[in-house]
Structure 1
Amino acid sequence: MAHLQRRLAGLDGVMQRLTAEIDRICTMSDRIQASGEVGHWQMSLVSHRVGKCLTYYDMGSTRGRVELHSSLSAIVYRHVAPRGSNLGFQGRYALLEDFMQNFYIEVINAFRREHELPEDYTPRTRLELAEYMAFSEQYAKRRISLRGSQSQQLIVLRAQAFSRRQPAETSVDMTLVSEGAKTEAAEAHSRSSVVQQVREKMMADADDPGDGVMRDRVINTLVEYLKAQNQPDCVDYLALKLQDCSAAEIDDILGLSARERDYLQQRFKYHIEKFSQQHEWELVHQWLGANLEAHLGMTPTEWADFLVTLPTDHRRFLTLKQTQPAISDEAIAQTLGWTPKKVQRSWTKVLKQAWNYRNQARGSEAS
């Protein structure tokens, strides 16, 4: 570490910038301030930011740059050309490289500006490069508010603006347009409430810095879960859905037939539900503002009505789950005379019932 500490912009500089960024996020985030757990959030944010930095540090300069460039290029590949253009790979690739060069200039200027660095600052050490590459990824993926409570990643908006400056072509594949509309409608109809709510939240506005961090954490954890389940197709599908690709575009990119896509959607739905209601239920429900302390996202009236629908043993089970300080599942099993496996099964069942009840209640209010 000695060679890093010779310069302020080495280890000390990186730590100072990291500390300032965490303080800024925690101060600006209404959600974090209202949580009463600012210290917990600070530690979580530090872990997230340091983890990103170390990932690029371990990859080194060359591999890190390649990985970053590949990741960002994949996000904007379909956005850099004018809509309806018939550009082949070479033409689109040339536009992509032009766009990325311009975007990297924007990123280094943003890095200097946000960290109040000199205009000629350039990362030089391996640690500084790792910090800068982590910032580049985070900056590119920042979500910008749009009309209608929608948002989009900053790099996508930049690519779309870039494409509008290119000569437009008039040819449009009407078959693709019509097929996309039909398949999207069918997909929306078949999507479960769990999948729909999780995906909408992933695509939703993230003005609050704390929400943005939680969103990234959930997505990263979901990707790791899908990889652990040996579901690379589901990882690809998730990435494309987060880019708001139509069903027809997904078919084309992944080389799927309609039947293969239907099968992939069913697998994706299964794993999303398992992830949300079993594997990482606490993380997902905290992110949705529906953790146990918040009555699983229900109002007091909804919660009271929901409890009435449960059998007596499940109501007692919920009471034990809400006990503070929290008691272990093993202790709950012993109290109720259940096996630990029954505790897990019952909890998954209660979560699913609560999810459905909450959505039905909100749906009836809307109608």
Structure 2
Amino acid sequence: MIETCQSVESIFQLLLSELKVSTTASEQHCRDVADRLLKEVTRICTESKRIQASGDPESWALTLAKHRLQQCLHYSKLGSRRGRVELHSTLSAVVYRYITPLQTQFSYQARLPLIEDFLQSFYMEALNAFRREAQLLPSYTPNAPLHLAEYMAFTERYAKRRIPLPGNRSQQLIILRAQTFSQQQPSETPVDIEQAAEGMSGEADGAWNAASMQQVREQMVAQEPEPVEDTLRYTVIAELISYLDERKQNDCADYFVLRLQDLPTSEIENILRLTPRQRDYLQQRFKYHLIRFALSHRWELVHQWLEADLDRNLGLTPQQWQAFQAQLDETQKVLLALKQQKLTDAAIAQAMGFTTTQIQKQWFKLLEQAWEIRNDFWEMQNR
């Protein structure tokens, strides 16, 4: 247990002061959140045998409290809409590989409705868990901005909880839920997309209140459409995972998912059961496939997301664009001009007298040159 009342009070005051300084929430809302974060941390420190055995539970409590505070402030700064987009994108990337429609092509578009349906149910489960663990009323709904940020931060932590499995293994809770959800999908019954969009599942939790779910959704999802960059980010993530899966690079996909969660290198090695040398090799292999994906397989999508498409001179400044064009040979200049006309690779190949494969290789080299110019400029700016 945390030894002294002074320690508990000091952590509470730290949480309260940071919430008051960093948010525009009312005094009472800040107190509510600080109190719930403190109770969560106290419970963890009390129940964890490892923390108790460390002999310094107070230090652990302070570290955990600061971590949870930063997560809450992160979502608070993003706001309800962008916070929801980031949470949804992060969790979608984690479960993407584990939700596979039965008797359906494992494509990005085929999985989207199932992922949406699954996550709506998971958000319900997370809210019920939040109510239960924070000892809130079954009717509690996080309407205030700070309360919503607290709920989203809790949902991310809840999703990433590691559940012990036989054989001294463990797995993230959301992955176990996704696997069960995927196995239970009847092959002959399509997912009701409209129902999923409304946030109601066919097997509604008895403790769940439809009205409260609607209130949460109204707070989490703004009426205006999501910004293009948010949609593109999610699409890039999903397509890259699909690209790796198609090439049987499952370990690279797993590594990518863990990287998306900002996990430290040591934890990634532990989860994937790799030595530092094996992890380094995997990282290099992932980098190779990432470059192939970004400069060849889906270059239009990636460059659009990076605001570096052809309409924006591949993300180069006017001076860089001139220097870039000056270093191209005649074949590359013709290729660039035809690409700017938005011709297909097949049409360009026919016009230039090359095979489609040769055109694609030439274009890969050309994009690589532009990429190097942008990277060199970025490195100079950040020295």
The normalised TM-score by structure 1 is 0.48
The normalised TM-score by structure 2 is 0.46
Q: Which has the larger radius of gyration?
A: 2
